[in-house]
A and B are shown apart, each in its own frame.
Chain A
Amino acid sequence: MPERLAPATVVACFTLLAAILLPFADLEISGHDPWAMLGRMLTGFARPDFGAIETLAHSLALTVAFAVAGVALGAAAGFALAPFYDRRLVRILCIGLRSIHEIFWALLLIQAIGIGAPAGVLALALPYAGIFAKIFAEQIEESDPRPRNALPPGTDAISRFAYACLPLIRAPMTAYCLYRLECGMRASAVIGFIGLPTLGFQLDSFFRKGDYGATSAILICYIALIASLRLWMRPRLAPLWIAGSLALLAALRAPPMGEGALWRFLSEDIIPRPLRSGEGLTGLLDWLGDLTLTEILPGLWNTVIATQIALVLTGIVAFLTFGLTVPAVTGRWGRYAGHLFLVVLRSLPEYMLAYLFLQIFGPSLLPAILALGLHNGAIIGHLVGREADSLVPGLRPDAPRGLNLWGWELAPRVFGSFLALCLYRWEIILRESAVMGILGIATLGFFIDSALSELRADRAVVILIVIALLSALIDTISLRLRQRMKIAGLRDSDCARTSALSADAMRT
């Protein structure tokens, strides 16, 4: 066994790497008079304008509808796949489905089946099916075996599952579905930025008109909707929500697609051009070499720089904010303010935050890094804060309060899980920073977006594979590091705890 890796060493290495990369990052503020812009935005935000209530309600309803329909379809497909997850073919299919980000799925699907409700729903459902299959399979595997062993030996497989397994995993399954719906609400808002009729679309058009009051109103409603998710989405009401969502989506009109578009997309567009035109292997290698030099390497470089700097920023934000929600540190009112601050940053997807920062600072890596750091930092700050809060009753009676408690009693105790969460989110930050290219920032997503808009899907597919490989690599490194530091394992299902407004926060 290699020696235990000191957490401080890991932190130092990541910080050093980010510091070395910092001078190479394009952080130029190119917006026209950013401070005046910021001032106008803040004035507008302080005066929300609910005048356009109809447009606002419609785009919020569609955001919910896409999220509910996508998550429901994904959960159903994942549930059907879960019992077969131990088969290699199913597992590879699921890994492939979930390695592509929702927005990239949306871009591909819009090319393949046209811009309409099916593309939006599938953009969520396809990656989520892969995730649900994995999570449900884990939950089945970890369910208590004793009821199964007590069954009469001749019981058929279906009854066995329905009686001795499903009731045991229903609660964790529901919790995970709710967590996924929260992710789905964010993804659903974000696919609006690429043309689907959800919140992102509305936000973009308000922004273009400079209507910051309406922007503010729509953001307030959206955050309220996510924060109250567990109040309006009761498991018993789920069928009603699903039926309502499907009805709303069915009424959407979409521009008609030419016949055979999907088939052409699958059989021609995504096949590398040199193979289509019969240039053979040398042609393919030239094509790949050219793609690598002109798009993949520059995109990769920017994506990695943004990721590494954003990861350190995430850590700083999380470490500085986790105490905010602990009443023993900030007091009762401080705690409410802390919750509000973290809820706002957690509810707004990275992509949307980056969009907002982009309006102020102009296109560079700066908006991406800020958005990634704030959003992910708020999520980790919330989770670590909850753990810290649960430690307080067990401390010695004469423990200090306020900042001393935070620094001396809590921070050392939660440092392990803080670090584990940061490393866990490393891969997520990478994927999101690639996606932000669609906003016009020079990460990998930029080249995917432009390849697709030039109808060169073959190039987009190659870059998507590069992203999948890179995130697999980071996932492996992160796992190794966590093992070497001997900090508790973390899995995706643990993040079901990342509720926007947790049950315990609402009770008090």
Chain B
Amino acid sequence: MKIRLEGATLGYGEAPVLSEVNFSQQRGERVVLLGPSGAGKSTLLMAIHAQLAGASRVALVPQDGGLVPQLSVRRNVYMGRLDDHGAARNLGALIYLRRPIRDEIDAILARLGLQDHVRRPVEALSGGQRQRTAVGRAFYRGGDIIVADEPVSAVDGVQARQIIEMIRDRFDTALLALHDVDLARAFATRIVGLRDGRIRFDGPAEAIDRRQIDALYA
């Protein structure tokens, strides 16, 4: 696993969202990106995901979840491992999901508090439930690292803390964008502050003080 961006300029189309970015991450680090909306957190996460995707197994929680609204919660979670099976088996799983797979998925969903919704189509869920489904898909996928963009923005405080703890237990290496500063401090080994497309600070979580963080949002 290798994450390294040097002097990178990132963005969609003409206008760069991030310019002159230097970023790298070691195995075992839990990095949280902080910054106001529009700072470039999502762009940075997607660039790193693209860099990693070919080489290592990444569990991804994109900002909008990337769920299929018409499919059940269970099948959306199953989609985390589509690349582990051939097309024939995946097509079969659309019609019938075998018992061991179902049990494994249901265990994950139970820990996320979704045990009563496994069969419901995602479009019938609340925003928070959808977000937990997307997290469940990442858990089911597993891998060397999780890349998650605001994975708990729509769930309540207690549950957010639980989910973040579950992420910490399950993945050694993590790269998250969060907006809750306390949650970020509790989770991260390293915090990166972004604003206006530039990295403003980057250091161990305990070395970053309140003033630096406040300056990001001022």
B125: CB under 8 A from chain A? no
Cross-chain contact B71 with A167 (CB below 8 angstroms): yes
- Assess A158 versus B91: contact at CB under 8 Å? Given A151-B79, A163-B68: yes
Q: Which chain B residues border A27 with CB–CB below 8 Å?
A: none
Which residue in chain A gives the minimum CB-CB distance to B60?
A150
B34: CB under 8 A from chain A? no
A155: CB under 8 A from chain B? yes
- Assess A152 versus B94: contact at CB under 8 Å? Given A167-B68, A167-B71: no
Q: Which chain A residues border B28 with CB–CB below 8 Å?
A: none
CA distance A385 to B93 in the complex (A): 45
Question: B139 → chain A, closest Cβ, in Å?
Answer: 14
CA distance A147 to B80 in the complex (A): 11
B200: CB under 8 A from chain A? no
A504: CB under 8 A from chain B? no
CB-defined A-B contacts under 8 Å, sample of 21: A146-B64, A147-B66, A149-B62, A150-B62, A150-B79, A152-B82, A152-B83, A152-B84, A152-B141, A153-B54, A155-B82, A158-B87, A158-B90, A159-B87, A162-B87, A163-B90, A163-B94, A167-B68, A168-B69, A168-B70, A170-B70
Question: A156 → chain B, closest Cβ, in Å?
Answer: 5
- Bits for B123-134, please: 1 = Cβ < 8 Å to A, else 0: 000000000001
Query: By CB atoms of chain A within 10 A, which of B53, B64, B87 has the most?
Result: B87
The 8 Å CB contact of B62, one of A146, A154, A160, is A146
Kindly list the 3 A-B residue pairs having the minimum CB-CB distance in the complex, ordered from nearest.
Answer: A150-B66, A154-B83, A158-B87
Q: Which chain B residues border A163 with CB–CB below 8 Å?
A: 68, 71, 75, 79, 82, 90, 94
Besides A156-B86, A157-B87, 4 other CB < 8 A contacts?
A147-B68, A156-B83, A159-B91, A162-B94
How many A residues are at the interface, by size bracket?
20 to 34
B81: CB under 8 A from chain A? yes
CA distance A154 to B58 in the complex (A): 11
Question: B74 → chain A, closest Cβ, in Å?
Answer: 12
A171: CB under 8 A from chain B? yes
A interface residue numbers (CB < 8 A to B): 146-160, 162-164, 167-168, 170-171
CA distance A80 to B91 in the complex (A): 17
B65: CB under 8 A from chain A? yes
Question: A256 → chain B, closest Cβ, in Å?
Answer: 42
Question: A151 → chain B, closest Cβ, in Å?
Answer: 6
Cross-chain contact A152 with B70 (CB below 8 angstroms): no
B33: CB under 8 A from chain A? no
Q: Which chain A residues border B60 with CB–CB below 8 Å?
A: 150
B191: CB under 8 A from chain A? no
CA distance A26 to B218 in the complex (A): 79
Q: Which chain B residues border A160 with CB–CB below 8 Å?
A: 82
Which residue in chain B gives the minimum CB-CB distance to A163?
B79
Among B129-150, those with CB < 8 Å from A are 134, 137, 141
B67: CB under 8 A from chain A? yes
Q: Which chain B residues border A162 with CB–CB below 8 Å?
A: 87, 90-91, 94
Q: Which chain B residues border A154 with CB–CB below 8 Å?
A: 83
Q: Which chain B residues border A158 with CB–CB below 8 Å?
A: 87, 90-91
The 8 Å CB contact of B90, one of A159, A168, A171, is A159
- Bits for B152-185, please: 1 = Cβ < 8 Å to A, else 0: 0000000000000000000000000000000000
Which residue in chain B gives the minimum CB-CB distance to A161?
B87
Question: A307 → chain B, closest Cβ, in Å?
Answer: 42
Q: Which chain B residues border A159 with CB–CB below 8 Å?
A: 82, 85, 87, 90-91
Question: A432 → chain B, closest Cβ, in Å?
Answer: 37
Which residue in chain B gives the minimum CB-CB distance to A151?
B82
- Assess A156 versus B70: contact at CB under 8 Å? Given A150-B60, A163-B94: no
CA distance A167 to B91 in the complex (A): 12
Q: Which chain A residues border B85 with CB–CB below 8 Å?
A: 159
Q: Which chain A residues border B64 with CB–CB below 8 Å?
A: 146
CA distance A266 to B44 in the complex (A): 61
CA distance A148 to B82 in the complex (A): 12
